[in-house]
């Protein structure tokens, strides 16, 4: 990897596909969740056709989303798996439509939420700038090589699914994501293409998720910017007693808290609510920088 990947640079530049890049050094960004699936846990079936999906992408962009994350397979616990052909039939027409209608003039970036290399390859060809890999490069082989070849940005997520976790939630993050970064380095991937994701809700109980929030700042030792996806997750329901569709205020609270803890990208269903929460957090971070001379 280039530019000392395990040390935070003065500016966090995220290099993504099609010649684009994002400066993450000062401001947080919102990623809108666009599930084109019939069975996602809070919005399954609502955006299963291209027209509805494009309208939702446009609404999220209007609300302040800088990135639209398109997914064709539900990752909720117990969801039925789909094959690659089904996933591709769902996501590729939507990615192309968003690329044609939004990604140019509005400068909206497109992410594909997939752990499959071939789906990711086709998605980048259709206009996606970012690959959101929930397997953390530890699923199908070749994802890091694909990102190197195409120049796509890569979200590398931590997961506890399908393996034995270490007892300490932070230690498990360091070991798993450290292994992911080693895979990326071996593939010759530029570190500036990588953003990390601690994988809230992926084989983590409520206590582990809140511990991860409370100790989030320790993750910066890994030396890359972080994306977080807490939106409507079960642990927020445990804290508030609310069902999935009524957890957007709780989600916005985590957006503010995690921005102050140093996260940079926030993957959410309700962009407008988290935009306001992020604006308040940014104002506080700006004031902190003025008074202490240190960035958050």
Catalytic residues: 233, 267
Instruction: Answer yes or no: are the C-beta atoms of 229 and 196 closer than 8 Å.
Output: no
The burial class, CB within 10 Å (0-12 / 13-18 / 19+), for 4 is exposed
What ranges in 5-164 are assigned the alpha helix state H? 50-63, 84-101, 117-126, 143-150
- The torsion angles phi and psi of 253, rounded to 5 degrees, stand at -60, -40
Distance, CA of 15 to CA of 243 (rounded, Å): 37
Stated as kind and residue range, the H or E segment containing 258 is helix 248-260
The burial class, CB within 10 Å (0-12 / 13-18 / 19+), for 207 is exposed
Distance, CA of 8 to CA of 219 (rounded, Å): 12
- β-strands 21-23, 13-15: how paired? antiparallel
Nearest to 233, CA basis, from 251, 221, 220: 251
The burial class, CB within 10 Å (0-12 / 13-18 / 19+), for 223 is middle
């Amino acid at each position: 990897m280039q530019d000392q990947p395990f040390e935070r640079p003065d500016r966090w530049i995220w290099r993504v596909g099609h010649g684009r890049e994002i400066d993450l050094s000062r401001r947080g960004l919102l990623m809108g969740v666009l599930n084109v699936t019939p069975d996602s846990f809070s919005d399954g079936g609502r955006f299963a056709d291209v027209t509805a999906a494009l309208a939702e992408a446009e609404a999220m962009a209007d609300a302040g989303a800088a990135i639209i994350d398109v997914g064709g397979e539900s990752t909720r616990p117990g969801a039925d798996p789909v094959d690659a052909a089904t996933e591709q039939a769902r996501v590729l027409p939507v990615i192309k439509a968003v690329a044609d209608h939004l990604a140019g003039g509005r400068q909206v970036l497109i992410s594909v939420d997939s752990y499959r290399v071939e789906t990711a390859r086709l998605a980048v060809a259709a206009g996606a700038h970012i690959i959101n890999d929930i397997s953390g490069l530890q699923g199908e082989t070749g994802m890091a090589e694909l990102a190197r070849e195409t120049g796509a940005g890569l979200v590398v997520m931590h997961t506890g699914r399908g393996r034995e976790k270490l007892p300490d939630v932070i230690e498990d993050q360091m070991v798993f994501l450290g292994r992911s970064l080693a895979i990326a380095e071996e593939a010759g991937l530029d570190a500036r293409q990588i953003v990390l994701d601690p994988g809230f809700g992926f084989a983590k109980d409520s206590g582990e998720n809140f511990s991860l929030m409370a100790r989030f700042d320790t993750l910066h030792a890994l030396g890359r910017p972080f994306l977080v996806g807490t939106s409507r997750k079960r642990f927020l329901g445990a804290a508030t007693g609310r069902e999935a569709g009524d957890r957007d205020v709780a989600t916005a609270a985590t957006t503010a808290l995690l921005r102050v803890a140093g996260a940079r990208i926030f993957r959410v269903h309700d962009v407008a609510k988290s935009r306001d929460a992020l604006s308040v957090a940014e104002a506080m971070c700006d004031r902190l920088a003025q008074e202490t001379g240190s960035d958050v």
